[in-house]
Amino acid sequence: MAYDNSENNWDKELNLVAEEAGELFKEFVKVVGALRNPKTGCPWDLKQNHLTLRKYMLEEAYEAVEAMGRNHSQDMQDEFGDVLLQVVLNAQVAMDHKNSDIRKVLVSITEKMKRRHPHVFGGGELATAEQVSEQWQKIKAEERKGSDGGNGVFEGVRDTHPSTAQAYEIGKVAKQIDFDWPNVETVFDQFQSEIVELKAELGSQSSDRLELELGDVYFSLAQLCRHLKIDPEIASNSGNIKFLNRFKSVEALSKAKGLDIRTASRKLKESLWQEAKRLENKD
């Protein structure tokens, strides 16, 4: 469906999509629910619980992020559907255990969006995205303080974040209390100093000390990403994709030359890598 963003038609378009989506979502909830039917459901789905489904939630989220990075519409549509499946399936598991259900999930997220966007749903106005982000963090901090009684500065930084994302969140909280580097240059200097300290430990026989220094490098790199307004998880994923795509070209080049990349010498592999890099830069 082509969207008409003119002032007169935008609301009409949204209402139409929301109505149709409601009916489609109702059918989808029933389909997922049928998979968990105690008598006629799917044996695999019936064996699942929140713990066993965690890996699939992560996998689908990462696959969606990868498709978003390529900006491929059909792939994004498919991957978003897979993420939605994990949400609805977990909600059904919760319903089967009388803990929650998809209705409560929808009510919770709807209320949260309204609560965290008072400039949209409660009157008032914020001029910039940065102001919106600051307000979001303040409201989020108040919610967590009220829900768990915690009053520590970093109380809201969850242990369940992947470590790089957690480092990013720690930096955001530190900025709120004015305990942050003033600019990109100073963060970069800190990152370089951590590299120097790591290099000094490379000859160490202590894996614990090396791990600590590597941890400092990762943490300062996450802060550098934050100051550059780049998500470190996305940047890392982009690096992985870049390597894999380039090596795919290396494999194609080796095949065209009648070579087996697995048994080729290290020198030949490096030569093919540089050739793939040159072809990549031509594009």
What would the pLDDT profile of 100-136 be if each residue is shown by its tens digit? 999 999 999 999 999 999 888 987 777 788 888 888 8
Quote the CA–CA distance of 141 and 158 in Å, as a whole number: 12
In angstroms, how far is the first alpha carbon of the chain from the final one?
33
Model confidence, pTM: 0.66
Q: Residue 207: pLDDT above 80?
A: yes
The percentage of residues in the chain with a pLDDT greater than 70, rounded to a whole number, is 93
Q: In the predicted model, what is the mean pLDDT of residues 11-20? A: 94
Residue 1 pLDDT grade (very low, low, confident, very high; cuts 50, 70, 90): very low
Q: Are 144 and 158 in contact (CB under 8 A)?
A: no
| Average pLDDT along the chain | 90
Q: Residue 149: pLDDT above 60?
A: no
Answer with the residue of higher pLDDT: 57 or 161.
57
- Find the helix or strand (DSSP H, E) in which 61 lies: helix 50-70
* CATH class of the structural domain 10-115: mainly alpha
Q: Are 151 and 141 in contact (CB under 8 A)?
A: no
> Nearest Cα to 217, choosing from 201, 239, 241, 231?
201
> Nearest Cα to 30, choosing from 109, 99, 108, 95?
95
pLDDT value for 224? 97
Q: Residue 3: pLDDT above 70?
A: no
C-beta contacts of 173-177 below 8 A and 24+ residues apart: 173/137, 176/134, 176/137, 176/138, 176/141, 177/153
Q: In the predicted model, what is the mean pLDDT of residues 54-69? A: 91
Q: In the predicted model, what is the mean pLDDT of residues 124-152? A: 75
Q: Are 280 and 249 in contact (CB under 8 A)?
A: yes
> Quick one: tokens of 236?
């890392």
Q: Are 250 and 273 in contact (CB under 8 A)?
A: yes
Quote the CA–CA distance of 219 and 213 in Å, as a whole number: 10
Answer with the residue of higher pLDDT: 177 or 105.
105
Quote the CA–CA distance of 85 and 104 in Å, as a whole number: 16
Q: In the predicted model, what is the mean pLDDT of residues 10-38? A: 96
Give buried/exposed letters for 22-41 (b at 16+ CB in 10 A, else e): eeeeeebbeebbebbeeeee
85-104, pLDDT tens digit by residue? 999 999 999 999 999 999 99
Question: Is there a shared CATH topology between the 10-115 domain and the 157-230 domain?
Answer: yes
pLDDT value for 4? 52
pLDDT value for 133? 83
Answer with the residue of higher pLDDT: 164 or 270.
270
Q: Residue 78: pLDDT above 90?
A: yes
With a CB cutoff of 8 Å and minimum separation 6, the contacts of 96 are: 36
Residue 283 pLDDT grade (very low, low, confident, very high; cuts 50, 70, 90): low
> Nearest Cα to 260, choosing from 250, 270, 246?
250
> Whose structure tokens read 């109505």?
19
DSSP per position, 76-95: HHHHHHHHHHHHHHHHHHHH
Answer with the residue of higher pLDDT: 155 or 84.
84
Q: Are 190 and 174 in contact (CB under 8 A)?
A: no
Q: In the predicted model, what is the mean pLDDT of residues 49-74? A: 92
Residue 137's Cα: distance from chain center in Å? 18
Q: Residue 195: pLDDT above 70?
A: yes
Quote the CA–CA distance of 97 and 183 in Å, as a whole number: 50
Residue 77 pLDDT grade (very low, low, confident, very high; cuts 50, 70, 90): very high
- For the chain, the domains span 10-115, 157-230, 234-282
Residue 151 pLDDT grade (very low, low, confident, very high; cuts 50, 70, 90): low
- How large is the C-alpha radius of gyration of the chain? 24
User: For domain 157-230, which CATH number applies: 3.40.50.300, 3.40.50.10330, 3.40.1110.10, 1.10.287.1080?
Assistant: 1.10.287.1080
- Mean pLDDT is lowest, of 20-24, 150-154, 253-257, for 150-154
- Find the helix or strand (DSSP H, E) in which 21 lies: helix 10-35
- Find the helix or strand (DSSP H, E) in which 273 lies: helix 266-282
Q: Residue 196: pLDDT above 60?
A: yes
> Quick one: tokens of 173?
């909280």
